[in-house]
Amino acid sequence: MKSIIFIAPPAAGKGTQSSMVAKKYNIPHISTGDLLREAAKEKSERGEYISNQMQTGGLVRDDVTTELLIERLQKDDCNNGYILDGFPRNVEQAKIYDDILAKLNKDLGIVILLDLDFDTAMKRSVGRLNCPKCGKIYNSMYDNMKPQVEGICDDCHSILSQRADDTYETFKKRYQTYLDLTIPLLDFYESKGNLYRVDSSKDKDKVFKTIVEILEK
Ligand code: AMP
């Protein structure tokens, strides 16, 4: 299986699609956001720094992020391909990633852009709620995704929670960071001939079908 990099603005479904692809092809889903969220819990200067950056919507320093990533990519479950979600996020990181791949003797694989406009991404992000107990996802901005009782999980009746970085202000900053830093990555991968674009405004099963077609081409 080829490795896959997902590039996307916030709330374009990167996490959801990564999980679906990981399940279908039995390869690990590596999210730098998740690696960083875990490291942010450490009671250390590094943990505090990561936590602050994430809460304000800025990027975490490359040396911190790549250290966590290299550690993860060296695990055995990455030998038959993996999904990279959230890395690289800028051209600098893409160049660092090329070096990491060369050192670990791995191929780049394919790069998939999950394309989504600002307004749709904003509604998906700012309205996003999840159940901390059973994991069910809701969205307060879409009638067909609202919980029956505001703030309460339909299935297990737990109190729903919002990700700390899903506020409007943080969303705006994250989207702007994506436009400024991540969009230039598309040229970088287009020139290597590895880039595929997928319209991520469609429902998640349609997006998934398109991704599978690309992977099996
Ligand atoms: P995500 O879960 O991918 O939306 O990432 C959440 C946050 O983690 C981002 O807003 C950044 O603060 C941080 N982050 C995730 N991936 C990276 C990366 N590749 N480089 C720097 N910061 C990152």
- pLDDT (tens digit per residue) in 98-112: 999 999 999 999 999
Of all protein residues, the one whose alpha carbon is nearest to atom 15 of ligand 1 is 33
Tell whether domain 4-116+182-215 is in CATH 3.40.50.150: no
215: nearest Cα among 18, 9, 74, 30: 18
pLDDT in tens, 62-101: 999 999 999 999 999 999 999 999 999 899 999 999 999 9
The whole-number pLDDT of residue 169 equals 93
**Of 18, 54, 116, 182, best ligand 1 pocket probe by most atoms within 8 Å of the beta carbon:** 54
Please give the pLDDT value at position 57. Answer: 82
pTM of structure: 0.85
* Mean pLDDT along residues 12-27: 93
Going from N- to C-terminal start, the domains of the chain cover 4-116+182-215
In this predicted structure, what is the pLDDT of residue 164? Answer: 84
What are the angstrom distances between the C-alpha of 4 and each of 44, 108, 175?
32, 8, 22
- pLDDT tier, 25 (very low <50, low <70, confident <90, very high otherwise): very high
Whole-number Å distance, alpha carbon 66 to ligand 1 midpoint, is 12
When pLDDT is averaged across residues 123-146 and rounded to a whole number, the result is: 94
Residue 6 has φ and ψ, to the nearest 5°, of -100, 130
d(CA 210, CA 194): 16
The atom number, within ligand 1, closest to the CA of 58 reads: 12
Ligand 1, atom 1, lies closest to the CA of: 33
- C-alpha–C-alpha distance, residues 89 and 5, integer Å: 10
What pLDDT shows up at residue 107?
Answer: 93
**pLDDT score at 47:** 96
* pLDDT for 101: 96
Is residue 127 within 8 A of residue 140, CB to CB? The reply is: yes
pLDDT, averaged across the chain: 94
Decide if pLDDT at 1 tops 80. no
Residue 147 pLDDT > 90, yes or no? yes
Q: Identify the residues whose C-beta falls under 6 Å from ligand 1.
A: 10, 31-33, 36, 53-54, 57-60, 65, 86-87, 89, 93, 165, 174
Q: Ligand 1 atom closest to Cα of 88?
A: 19
Q: How far apart are the first and last CA of the chain?
A: 12
Please pick, among 133, 163, 172, 173, the residue that the annotation labels catalytic: 163
User: How far is the CA of 181 from the CAs of 28, 47, 147, in angstroms?
Assistant: 26, 24, 35
